[in-house]
Amino acid sequence: MNLISNRIRGMQDILLHEGESWLNVCRIMEKRASLYGFKFSRTPALEYTNLFERSSGDSSDIVNKEMYTFKDKSGRSISLRPEGTAGIMRAVLEEGISNFTLPLKLMYNCSCYRYEKPQSGRYREFFQFGLEIFGCDNVSAEAELIKVAKDILSDLEIKNVILQINSIGCKNCRKNYIDNLKKYFENHKSELCKSCMDKLERNPLRILDCKEKSCIEIVNKAPIITDYLCEKCSQNFAEIQKKLDFNEIKYEVNSKIVRGLDYYTGIVFEFLNNIDGTNLAICGGGRYDDLAETLGGPKIFAAGLGFGIERVMLAIKHNNSDFKGNLPQIYIASTDESSKHFSEKLCNILRKINVYAEYDLLNRSLKSQMKFANKIGAKYVIVLGDDEIKSGKANLRNMETGEETPISILQDFEKEFLNATKN
Ligand code: AMP
């Protein structure tokens, strides 16, 4: 058979076991974030292009090279969101920040699109679980974000995660730093890779996270941002470290973390996990106090983070965490038409009390039903036939131990089922 189309390059299908594991990851993230007071939000996947040009910065790689941009039927320039924060900020500004009680804590789980070279952990469609705190002018916001991220990583049992922090300064102190950085790199221009030569004009900060060996050597001797911070930024950077120490959270200071988006100011951070020899950022974030004004709104203090869900899934796989998915508690097999009806009824009863129960939908033989029950990992099985229906009793078989417990399938079925499966 010839399929009419294939999956688009850089996009993924998530099915079955992986889908279950995905759902589990999202539930864990959402549950933990709820405990910190974050409320779920959703914004459209499509926005006017200028939102991202203004927020991410028109010198950024994302805007320059990676956005999916097209004209709609009315000729307006529209883009698929390359990240979640800009849309959330746009929504908050549109609603009016004064209509919210501060601090405003929002969470979202959204698809993002970047036309990057696909590779492991880098896709053209990926999902971000993001958290944003609006209206907090001090490092308590960054600390809260780092704490919730730590808790999520520990809930997911992802080990060997390194937290790195930096401050990229506010617009005042950063300017002086960038001037000096530019001078330094200009003296080493001939040694930089082609892409960094380009960045030298557009945004020299980005040279700091270049992965080319020749550039890394030059970057290692480059001026360090923390030597240029103004009093307020230095104070904040010292404060966050104190807060992390107070919360017994280990971290490293890495002066090369600059993040890929122009809107960051002050403290930035990344959680890295070593996957197959490469340190991949599974979560990144920081403060972005100027974004609201950049988008034409009032000053809004803001900080946020984003987990890449695909990278979290990779980290889980890499950690050999054997997530089994949601396995059925029971499969109720049947031998003929009337017992099939009965098995459906019993499943209805159990599903009502939140038990995951399955029965035959395909009119299969008993042998095939048992094979299926095994395949889907049902913990218990009941086989219904004439005898069981007449007597009102059936054997509940524990598929792991082979132990059988007779239970009533007429009166008090759910009670007897719960009793027999208590352990
Ligand atoms: P960023 O918006 O670039 O700070 O990214 C936030 C998080 O999203 C990163 O830490 C990654 O975990 C994830 N991420 C960014 N780009 C991609 C991509 N192309 N594919 C998969 N995950 C990504």
Q: Output the pLDDT for position 323.
A: 67
Has residue 148 got a pLDDT over 90? yes
pLDDT band at 321 (very low <50, low <70, confident <90, very high): low
The helix or strand, by DSSP H or E, that contains position 140, with its residue range, turns out to be: helix 140-155
Q: Output the pLDDT for position 211.
A: 82
Tell me what percent of the residues of the chain surpass a pLDDT of 70. 99
Among candidates 397, 390, 393, which has minimal Cα distance to 407? 393
Q: Output the pLDDT for position 95.
A: 98
DSSP reduced 3-state for 307: strand
Question: What is the pTM for the complete model shown?
Answer: 0.93
Ligand 1 center to residue 308 CA distance, Å? 5
Euclidean distance between CA atoms 108 and 110, whole angstroms: 6
Calculate the average pLDDT of the chain: 94
Decide whether any atom of ligand 1 lies within 6 Å of the 311 Cβ.
yes
Ligand 1 center to residue 337 CA distance, Å? 53
pLDDT band at 57 (very low <50, low <70, confident <90, very high): confident
The pLDDT of 29-35, averaged and rounded, is 98
Q: Output the pLDDT for position 322.
A: 65
Q: HSE of 391 in the Cβ direction (CA atoms, 13 Å)?
A: 11
Q: Structure tokens of 32?
A: 């933990």
Greatest mean pLDDT among 89-98, 179-188, 189-198 lies in 89-98
In single-letter form, the type of residue at position 20 comes to: E
Q: Which of the residue ranges 229-233, 254-258, 357-361, 371-375 would you say has the lowest mean pLDDT?
A: 254-258
Euclidean distance between CA atoms 210 and 176, whole angstroms: 21
Interhelix angle 16-35/309-318, nearest 10 degrees? 110
pLDDT band at 326 (very low <50, low <70, confident <90, very high): confident
pLDDT band at 203 (very low <50, low <70, confident <90, very high): confident
Q: Which of the residue ranges 4-18, 192-206, 347-361 would you say has the lowest mean pLDDT?
A: 192-206
Q: HSE of 247 in the Cβ direction (CA atoms, 13 Å)?
A: 19
For residue 122, give the ligand 1 atom closest to its CA: 20
- For 249-295, strand residue ranges (E) read 252-253, 267-275, 278-287
| Of 29, 52, 60, 112, best ligand 1 pocket probe by most atoms within 8 Å of the beta carbon | 112
For residue 121, give the ligand 1 atom closest to its CA: 21
Q: Are 286 and 269 in contact (CB under 8 A)?
A: yes
Q: Output the pLDDT for position 51.
A: 97
Decide whether any atom of ligand 1 lies within 6 Å of the 318 Cβ.
no
Has residue 329 got a pLDDT over 90? yes
Ligand 1 center to residue 86 CA distance, Å? 14
Has residue 246 got a pLDDT over 80? yes
Has residue 275 got a pLDDT over 90? no
Sign for the pseudo-dihedral over CA of 345, 350, 354, 357: negative
What distances in angstroms separate CA 243 from CA 131, 138, 159, one per listed residue? 19, 11, 22
Among candidates 81, 134, 152, 87, which has minimal Cα distance to 307? 152
Q: Output the pLDDT for position 288.
A: 97
